[in-house]
A and B are shown apart, each in its own frame.
Chain A
Amino acid sequence: MNGIYLLKRLITSFAAFCIAVTIMFALLRLMPGDYITMYLEAIYRYAPPDVVEAFNHVYGLDRPILEQYVIYLLDAFRGNWGYSFIYKVPVLTVIGERLVWTLILLLPATILATLAGIGIGAYSGWRRGSKTDIALLNSMIIIRAIPSYWLALMILIIFAYYLNLFPLGGYVDTGALTTGIDPLDVANHAVLPVLTLFLFSVTGTYYLMRSSMLMTAGEDYITTARAKGLDELMILRKHALKNAMLPMVTLITFECAGMITGSIFVETIFSWPGLGMLTYKALAVRDLPLLQGILLIDTLFVIAANIAADLIYPLVDPRVQVGDDA
């Protein structure tokens, strides 16, 4: 039964992927402006039509749109994602390189934010109305209210510039040019961006966890547990936490999928060469192959996260069966 379900799920995911890919293809081609014209105009103010034509010919952009679409689909599945216009290297190479840096920031930030958000959210919700709860809730509201760009800049100015505790950007010191990349040095550079990303995402997890815990704390089975003579900590750990975590599964899987889109603010302020920055730049100059590649990867991750959420859910909630429309 599981096998059949999985097969079905894969088929629907594949369909979703195809639809997403088609929409993407259409949207990218509906965008006004194109790479070569904008590039030439920036240098010469005019785009010599013969150069534009030749460029489009070389990249097949002058073929009928349907033909382009078919070629694009075939290439997408063959893993032939083309070369980036800006970087002149295979799209997957560029994305792969940036993905590593994005993950170096986002993996720890997301893990920490998720753990901390769940931890303090659970505590806050369990001890609803207590001084700690109110203090936590208010600080989360304040953090949430700060515009992200400003928060990133302030963290940079305070911790890097005034307190002189951390570097002002990049991921290694200039010394790395001679000695090579030192993981400790990278870690030192990653502290502030990770902190910023952590603050960005901890509030969301906290809110959801807190309200989930509020609901759980009022459930009858918690009273049953208490009536059995369990102590509070055990009730929280064993009975409340596990139930309150259920709504978090979806959030967490999607946060993981969201990781690969990177964060444009943090990457800009901290000069961190991640995927967010890359996407922004590719979009600004209409680097079609690169944009297509990035969006394909994003789509794949979201679809994977969806499947993952579907597969994980039954593991944590026995009421949900694999294949249920949860």
Chain B
Amino acid sequence: MTGRYIQKILVCCAVLLLACCVPAAAGIPGDTDGDTVVSEKELATAILDHLTAGRLSADELSLAAHNSLHLPYGQLVVAVAGDRYLIPATSYIDQKGVPADSLIYEGLVTKLRPKEGGPKEYLGWLAERWESSDDAMTWTFYLVRNAAWHDGTPFTSADVRFTYEYFRDHGNPDAPGAGAYLVNSAIFKNVASVECPDDYTVVFHMKSCAPLFPETLATGPGIAVFPAHIWRDIDLPSTYIDTAHIGTGPFAYGSTIPGTLSKVTAYEGYHGEKPYVREVVTKNYEDEDAQILALRRGDVDFISGEFGLSPRKAEALKDAPGIGICRIPSGGQAFEVAFTSDVYPATIPEFRRALSHAVNRERVCWLVGEGARPTETVFLLPALAGDQVNPATNGLFSYDIAEAKRQLARAGFNLTEENGRPVLLGPDGKPVEITIPLAGKASTNAVDQKIVAVLKEDWEGKLGIRIVETPQVDDSVYLDWIAKTAVHFDGMPGRWHEDIDRLDNFQRSPLGENYYHFDNETFNGLITELKSTADPDKREEIGFELQEILAEEVPCIPVFSQDAFMAYRSDRFVGWDAALLGGGGNIRLFSEIRPASAEVGLRA
């Protein structure tokens, strides 16, 4: 009796399990070889299947045909965290340029994630190719010829020039309603003039050598080109409410319901490769847990939290039926122990160097858990910076307490003992005491606490450096705090570690103090030189040299970076990994994924 009962339950469980697994394993109907493209032959087979065996339903056959003909199909619902990620009622243009990943607008170029150890790569959007003069004083962009605005107006070089001029004119602080334009006009600050020799060529004349102009156009909020024929007549952009959102991107603006939903539709006349999905709906979920529930229930197809899902939550989703996880190496925050180089004892380079051997990265990563990877370089993250990382500087900040002690002794520090506990006396004979302020962001706090715990073990327990307090300080006063404390932690977006140009973080520029109050003449000089160097080999050489100085001077000790996680309905769409790893949220992301379930077709 009981035996049969248990058997029954087991069978039920097995059936349930199978039922759960089926959608997870499903691919695009008709795609028999699993390359996510339905070839002509596969389509023919599918049609026959449908006609004879009835294995494919009419809807599934329709999906296969759309895929085979590369026609947009179905609706993809993406959860966003916050209404500012929806298409707002007013245009983004006045503030940050159109966000590079908005699907509707495009810039001239975008940047791709390099392969690990590989070179930096750009991808043309509205520019097919580009070149600079040897002195990097002029940049010429050759535009795509078949692009048209979503309202049918052809896209020409005049639009590019207009974008520049619009920002220039509205970036003047005394112009009416100008304030919001300043950020963007700053991006174009170095441009002296723009010239259009023909409809498909744009020449930027720079005020000074600009070897990195494409980089400037592609990073940060970036600059998207916007339509001259619409914006020409708008004098007061900050009071203009754009309801049409005419761009050139793969998707055209559909509709918005303020604060909660917006929709874009595949643009028939797109100049590049057309998307496979017909509609992308963005739905706002302010709370990450609500996003996760929505994905589990199938209300949405893709979630990413605000800055990627937390590893713990991604882990919990891993085995959910019909859900896939993608992981973007170093896509989250990067953490470092930073010194304020003009506050004792961080003023002593040997002290900083010694401590670079006293950070137990493995242990921190173990504590932080899933998704944390130790940083072995002096600053740049290999997953983002590719071949710009100087291999000779890798592994120089290895964990070695004995070495740390030796270096401290050499610098005149004296390790003694008091009541059985180690106490480090400084060169001045007084015990070394430090305060470590923690930034007030809740998301990074937990991580900070873990780093503190590990540091205390080594710094207090073995090196005798007393960590007096670790106050939580609000973001708005964080800078004031770190200016008066020798050591702090910092978590920052990984993209600040992606390029040698980002090493200007450590330059003491004419504009003033840097984050680390670090001031090394050679370093400052090299950065200035780098900014005006166009030759790639020379740039690499300078970049390597800069990293050597960092290895020697240790203004900061990188600890680890976090991978970012996103989750999607693997039973409905395929092709996520390629898209994500290629660009990490660029305009192509939703162009490359393909519907795999007829269900998404019925939604649209």
Give chain A's interface residues, CB within 8 Å of chain B.
31-33, 38-40, 43-46, 48-51, 54-55, 57-59, 83, 86-90, 97-98, 101, 153, 156-157, 160-161, 164, 167-172, 174, 176-178, 181, 267-271, 273, 277, 281, 286
Top 7 A-B pairs ranked by shortest CB distance? A33-B476, A273-B259, A58-B179, A32-B476, A54-B173, A170-B260, A177-B263
Known: A31-B476, A177-B281. Is A48-B290 also a contact (CB below 8 A)? no
A sample of 24 inter-chain contacts (CB < 8 A) reads A32-B477, A38-B475, A45-B515, A46-B515, A50-B186, A51-B182, A51-B186, A57-B174, A88-B94, A89-B90, A89-B241, A90-B239, A168-B285, A169-B287, A170-B285, A171-B257, A174-B77, A174-B283, A177-B254, A178-B255, A269-B287, A271-B286, A271-B290, A273-B259
B interface residues (Cβ-Cβ under 8 A, vs A): 75, 77, 82-84, 88-91, 94-96, 173-174, 178-180, 182-183, 186, 220-221, 238-239, 241, 254-263, 281, 283-287, 289-290, 293-294, 296-297, 299, 474-477, 492, 496, 505, 511-512, 514-515, 603
A88, A156, A281: which has the most chain B beta carbons within 10 Å?
A88
Q: Are A58 and B285 in contact (CB under 8 A)?
A: no
CB-CB under 8 A from B255, the residues of chain A are: 177-178
Residues from chain A with Cβ under 8 Å of B259 in the complex: 97-98, 101, 171, 273
Q: Smallest Cβ distance from A99 to chain B, in angstroms?
A: 12
Interface contact B286-A267, CB-CB below 8 Å: yes
Q: How far is the CA of A49 from the CA of B510 in the complex (A)?
A: 11
A97/B286 contact (C-beta < 8 A), A59-B179, A87-B90 known: no
Chain A, Cβ-Cβ closest to B504: A46
| Complex contacts, B286 vs chain A, CB 8 Å | 169, 267-269, 271, 277
Q: Across the interface, do B474 and A32 meet the contact criterion of CB distance under 8 Å?
A: yes
Given A31-B476, A46-B515, 16 more pairs with CB closer than 8 A: A32-B474, A33-B475, A49-B511, A49-B512, A50-B186, A59-B179, A88-B95, A89-B90, A101-B259, A156-B290, A161-B297, A169-B284, A171-B257, A273-B258, A273-B260, A281-B82
Specify which chain A residues have a CB less than 8 angstroms from the CB of B477 in the assembled complex.
32-33
Most buried by B among A32, A38, A167: A32
Interchain CA distance A170-B79 in the complex, whole Å = 11
Q: A57-B173, A88-B90 are in contact. Are A48 and B511 (CB under 8 A)?
A: yes
> Is A170 a contact of B258 with CB atoms below 8 Å?
no
Are A83 and B290 within 8 A (Cβ)? no
CB closest chain-B residue, reference A32: B476
Picked from B221, B261, B281, B290, the residue with its CB within 8 Å of the CB of A168 is: B290
Contacts of A83 in B (CB 8 A): 238-239
Bound: A259/B588 CA distance, A: 44
- Kindly list chain B residues whose C-beta atoms are within 8 Å of the C-beta of A167: 299
Decide: A38 and B261 in contact? CB cutoff 8 A: no
In the complex, what residues of B have CB within 8 A of residue A45's CB?
Answer: 492, 496, 505, 515
Given contacts A174-B281, A181-B257, contact A44 B220 (CB under 8 A): yes
Across the interface, do B299 and A168 meet the contact criterion of CB distance under 8 Å? yes
What chain A residues lie within 8 Å of B84 (beta carbons)?
A: 86
How far, in Å, is B171 (CB) from chain A's closest CB? 8
Contact indicator B293/A58 (Cβ below 8 Å): no
A45-B515, A58-B178 known; A170-B261 Cβ under 8 A: yes
Q: Report how far A55 CA is from B257 CA in the complex, Å.
A: 31
Contact, CB under 8 Å: B284 / A271: yes
Residue of A nearest to B179 (CB): A58
Q: Which residues of A have CB within 8 Å of B281?
A: 174, 177
Give the distance in Å from the alpha carbon of A251 to the alpha carbon of B50 in the complex: 68
**B260 touching A88, Cβ below 8 Å:** no
- Residues in B whose Cβ lies below 8 Å from that of A286: 476
Docked CA distance A277–B286 (Å): 9
CA distance A299 to B94 in the complex (A): 31
CB distance B505 to A161 under 8 Å? no
Give the complex CA separation of A161 and B294 in angstroms: 8
Cα–Cα, bound, A266→B286 (Å): 10
Residues of A within 8 A of B180 (CB): 88
Q: Which residues from A are CB-within-8-Å of B261? A: 170, 172, 174, 176-177
Residues in chain A near residue B75, CB distance under 8 A: 174
Residues in B with CB closer than 8 Å to A51 are: 182-183, 186
Contacts of B293 in A (CB 8 A): 156-157, 160-161, 168
Question: Is B287 a contact partner of A164 (Cβ separation < 8 A)?
Answer: no
Across-interface contacts of B77 in A (CB, < 8 A): 174
Most A CB contacts (10 A, CB to CB) among B255, B257, B262, B512 go to B257
Most buried by B among A46, A168, A268: A168
Query: B260, A54: Cβ atoms under 8 Å?
Result: no
Q: How far is the CA of A259 from the CA of B186 in the complex (A)?
A: 42
Q: List the B side residues contacting A171 at CB < 8 Å.
A: 257, 259-260
Provide the bound-state CA to CA distance between A148 and B180, in Å. Answer: 38
What's the nearest-Cβ distance from chain B to residue A214, in Å? 40
Residue ID in chain B nearest A43 by CB atoms: B220
Which residues from B are CB-within-8-Å of A54?
173, 179, 182
- Residue ID in chain B nearest A156 by CB atoms: B290
Given A269-B290, A271-B287, A273-B259, check contact A161 B296 (CB 8 Å): yes
- The reply to whether B294 and A168 form a contact with Cβ atoms under 8 Å apart is yes
Task: Report how far A306 CA is from B180 CA in the complex, Å.
Answer: 39
* B257 adjacent to A172 (CB under 8 Å): yes
Smallest CB separation, B442 vs chain A (Å): 12
- State the CA gap A31–B474 with chains docked (Å): 11
Cβ–Cβ < 8 Å partners of A153 in chain B: 287, 289
A174 contacts B603, CB within 8 Å?
A: yes
Residues of chain B with a CB closer than 8 A to A98's CB: 259
Q: Please name all residues of chain A whose beta carbon is closer than 8 Å to the beta carbon of B173 when the two chains form the complex.
A: 54-55, 57-58
CA distance A59 to B173 in the complex (A): 9
> Measured between alpha carbons, how far is A240 from B180 in the docked complex, in Å?
61
Residues of B within 8 A of A273 (CB): 83, 258-260, 284
Q: List chain B residues, Cβ under 8 A from A39.
A: 183
**Residues in A whose Cβ lies below 8 Å from that of B285:** 168-170, 271
Tell me the smallest distance from the CB of B473 to a CB of chain A, in Å. Answer: 10
Q: B238–A88 contact, CB under 8 A?
A: yes
Counting chain A CB atoms within 10 Å of each CB, the highest count among B83, B259, B263, B289 belongs to B259
Verify B297–A168 contact, CB threshold 8 A. yes
Chain B nearest CB from A32 CB (Å) reads: 4
Residue of A nearest to B603 (CB): A174
Closest A residue, CB atoms, query B256: A177
In the complex the two chains form, is A271's CB within 8 Å of B260's CB?
yes
Give CA–CA (A39, B476) in the complex, Å.
11
Contacts of B186 in A (CB 8 A): 48, 50-51
Taken together as a complex, chains A and B put the C-alpha atoms of A54 and B186 apart, in Å, by 11
Measured between alpha carbons, how far is A308 from B161 in the docked complex, in Å?
Answer: 59
- Closest chain A residue to B514 by CB distance? A46
Q: Please tell me if the beta carbons of B496 and A55 are within 8 angstroms of each other in the complex.
A: no
What residues of A have a CB within 8 angstroms of the CB of B220 in the complex? 43-44
Give CA–CA (A178, B254) in the complex, Å. 9
Chain A contacts of B297 at CB under 8 A? Answer: 161, 164, 168
Could you tell me if A97 and B90 are in contact, using CB atoms closer than 8 angstroms? Answer: no
A59 and chain B: residue at smallest CB distance: B179
A181 to B255 Cα, complex, angstroms: 12
Interface centre among A90, A170, A281 (most CB of B within 10 A): A170
Closest chain-A Cβ to B227's Cβ sits at a distance in Å of 19
Residue ID in chain B nearest A45 by CB atoms:
B496
